Structure 1
Amino acid sequence: DDALAEYNNLQSELRDHHGLMDRELYDIEILFKLKQGQVEVPQAAVVTDYSDAIVIDSDVVESRNRRIFELGKDKTGTLETIKEFRKKLNFIQWEYKMLAMQTTDMEERTKDVH
């Protein structure tokens, strides 16, 4: 009975060890020499922790930046359209007020004449 428990325990440890070995196949440490400004990890005073950092291909970053730029252009175009619409609306409102004042002025002048 003790031998069976020991056997099961050793089998469990062996499975755990095989799992660890499989993970270690893909979890390797590689040293990179990067230019200043290419690292977007917050720098610590003494030692910066890069344990959760990932390396992204520059083509991926550039394509995302292009997409962001396109979306920004679209939004800027929409804002320009809104600005022009508001400008025209404000001009029409100003023109309406001006005509209303001119009408009032003409009415006052015609009262003075009669």
Structure 2
Amino acid sequence: MCSFCSTKSPHVPLVFTLHRLKPSKKQNQNRHVRLGLLNRRRALLQEARQRNRMMVVVKEEIEMKNLKLYVENKSIIEENDKLRKQAVLLHKENQALLTQLQKKLSAQHNKAFS
């Protein structure tokens, strides 16, 4: 059948015309393979996007934990410095008291032997 007229053309068989309109089996197979590849690529891209979103979430969680640990560490260091200064003051006071005690004992010792 001719595509421009409604009558049958005598030199073109009807079977040939229908055959040209139908895609071949190989074309169908190629189309299925291409669709399968496209679907697979689409699925892989979707998985990659999901992994990226998960990585962003994990990265944010790690950064938050890191920040909390940093603040905690800083407060521990400050507390340690305060305790160290207090220990130095206590040591000086202890040395002063020990010196006073030694002077009193030596004074009593000298009085006892005089």
| TM-score scaled by length of structure 2 | 0.48
Relative to its length, the structure with more helix (as a share) is: 2
The structure whose Rg is larger is 2
| TM-score scaled by length of structure 1 | 0.48
